[in-house]
């Protein structure tokens, strides 16, 4: 059995800790089954945004007539789009792996690892151990059990971003951010998309007003089946047939959806079961995510965890934040610091974009937190009107007395950028005056955020 000073499982954000350990002269083992760089680089946020930008370009061309411009959309070069995305990403992943392999203090174990005893991993039949272990092994797509699903060639987000050909007809099961983003990508490029979602609105984690508006827009864009569940899947005429049970105001009826490809976007599951973390005594919660204390250490001293597998926020910027704290807490144990998750923003790169930070109105109500709220439409600002965004708006929440910013929620153009000023103010503990008393460029889109705060009672 080979013994190391540190074992890092996963080659995403956990590499910050392995790099520091290597710089300190420690012996490090990195266990990674797939390409280096983690989910974000290889099959998540980076390739998806590169592909989605292509959809945004197409959407601009299609909407040019709204501004008196006659434009024609020619050929969609699918091969070029995929090649453009993954040539750079694959090179980056390979470079990260080679950099780690060339480090004198790092040993790379390419394969799936599993715990077989206390602080002991088995990888490709070889056992390794260390007193300090960091688990940053992420999550994988979760797929529900549906009759017939195991007999058809369905895909998940792992495969959706590398399809060799553009499908003509696609069904997407799910109503979260992955379903929203991929529907925009495939649908805008010309695929006939049917979205099947078991709830009455998409994006259930967002503020209710945002979710409702988003759902309205997607009902105009796609064939959106709400309050619906797939009851059976089968192969038919060279394609895939889905029987869908639709609940229409309490009356259920069945519809058949025929597609060329089926994308399951129904959530994520932690990889703790594949790692068999129970064999090293690490506790998980009811969903299978690793339990940690506020310093990111598990119940087993010396075993730490971060990123998606912890289940706090399934966001790359959250994992990067946790990595900085984990590095400090592992290497400076006498000066440990709890992770400060305040004002964690997120964004959905769909069309329209959605972005949020802080409390939703529903969450504030359930937490019995006093708040006031206001909204402001994009179209009521000069720039919002000029770009023709009739669906976009900003919603803000604040404490009625202290004027603490409790939440900000945006749907519309550049929401992923506009959310940052509210997130920064919240992170620094600044009140609403920090935004309302600032000087904004006129006429620029950020005015919509300032006006939403200025409308607060």
DSSP classification of residue 150: G
Provide the 10 A C-beta neighbour count for residue 121: 25
403, 185, 383: which is closest to 394 by C-alpha? Answer: 383
User: Which contacts qualify for 253-260: CB closer than 8 Å, 24 or more apart?
Assistant: 255/225, 257/171, 257/194, 257/196, 257/225, 258/169, 259/167, 259/169, 259/170, 259/171, 259/194, 260/167, 260/168, 260/169, 260/170
Residue 169: helix, strand or coil by DSSP? strand
Burial of residue 275, with CB atoms counted within 10 A of its CB: 0-12 exposed, 13-18 middle, 19 or more buried: buried
Tokens of 323: 């990595």
Pair 446, 420: CB distance under 8 Å? no
Q: What is the separation of C-alpha 294 from the centre of its chain, rounded to a whole number of angstroms?
A: 23
Map residue 75 onto helix, strand or coil: coil
Burial class (CB in 10 A: 0-12, 13-18, 19+), 292: buried
Distance CA 10, CA 64 (A): 45
Cβ burial of 437 (10 Å; 0-12, 13-18, 19+) is exposed
How far is it, in rounded angstroms, from Cα 177 to Cα 128? 38
Cβ-Cβ contacts under 8 Å for 304 (sequence gap 6 or more):
132, 133, 134, 135, 292, 296, 297, 298, 326, 329, 330
**Structure tokens belonging to residue 424:** 């920064």
Beta strands in 118-238 (DSSP E): 120-123, 126-135, 139-141, 169-173, 192-196, 223-225, 228-236
Residue 325 to residue 297: CA distance in whole angstroms = 11
CB atoms within 10 A of CB 417: 14
| 53 among known catalytic residues | no
Q: Which is the catalytic residue, given 72, 346, 399, 442? A: 442
Residues designated catalytic: 442
């Amino acid at each position: 059995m080979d013994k190391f000073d540190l074992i890092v499982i996963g080659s995403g954000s956990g590499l910050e800790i392995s790099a520091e350990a290597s710089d300190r002269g420690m012996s490090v083992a990195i266990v990674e089954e797939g390409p280096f760089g983690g989910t974000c680089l290889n099959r998540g946020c980076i390739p998806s945004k590169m592909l989605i930008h292509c959809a945004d370009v197409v959407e601009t061309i299609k909407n040019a007539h709204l501004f008196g411009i006659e434009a024609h959309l020619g050929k969609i070069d699918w091969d070029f789009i995929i090649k453009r995305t993954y040539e750079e990403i694959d090179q980056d992943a390979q470079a990260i792996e080679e950099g780690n392999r060339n480090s004198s203090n790092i040993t790379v174990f390419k394969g799936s690892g599993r715990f077989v005893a206390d602080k002991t991993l088995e990888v490709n039949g070889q056992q390794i151990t260390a007193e300090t272990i960091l688990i940053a092994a992420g999550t994988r797509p979760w797929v529900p059990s549906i009759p017939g699903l195991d007999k058809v060639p369905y895909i998940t987000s792992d495969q959706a971003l590398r399809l060799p050909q553009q499908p003509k007809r696609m069904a997407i099961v799910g109503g979260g951010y992955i379903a929203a983003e991929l529907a925009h990508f495939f649908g805008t490029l010309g695929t006939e998309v049917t979205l099947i979602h078991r709830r009455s609105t998409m994006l259930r984690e967002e503020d209710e007003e945002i979710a409702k508006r988003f759902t309205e827009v997607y009902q105009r864009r796609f064939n959106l089946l709400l309050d619906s569940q797939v009851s059976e899947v089968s192969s038919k005429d060279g394609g895939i047939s889905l029987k869908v049970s639709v609940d229409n105001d309490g009356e259920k009826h069945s519809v058949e959806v025929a597609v060329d490809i089926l994308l399951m976007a129904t959530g994520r599951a932690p990889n703790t079961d594949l790692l068999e973390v129970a064999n090293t005594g690490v506790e998980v919660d009811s969903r299978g995510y690793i339990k940690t204390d506020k310093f990111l250490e598990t119940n087993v001293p010396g075993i730490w965890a971060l990123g998606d597998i912890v289940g706090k926020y399934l966001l790359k910027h959250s994992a990067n934040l946790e990595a900085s704290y984990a590095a400090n807490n592992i290497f400076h144990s006498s000066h440990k610091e709890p992770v400060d998750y305040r004002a964690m923003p997120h964004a959905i790169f769909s069309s329209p974009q959605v972005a949020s930070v802080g409390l939703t109105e529903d969450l504030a109500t359930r937490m019995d937190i006093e708040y006031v709220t206001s909204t402001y439409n994009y179209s009521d600002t000069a720039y919002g009107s000029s770009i023709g965004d009739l669906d976009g708006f900003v919603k803000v929440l604040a404490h009625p007395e202290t004027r603490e910013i409790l939440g900000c929620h945006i749907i519309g153009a550049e929401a992923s950028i506009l959310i940052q000023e509210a997130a920064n103010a919240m992170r620094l503990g600044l009140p609403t005056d920090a935004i309302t008393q600032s000087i904004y460029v006129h006429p620029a889109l950020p005015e919509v955020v300032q006006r939403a705060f200025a409308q607060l009672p």
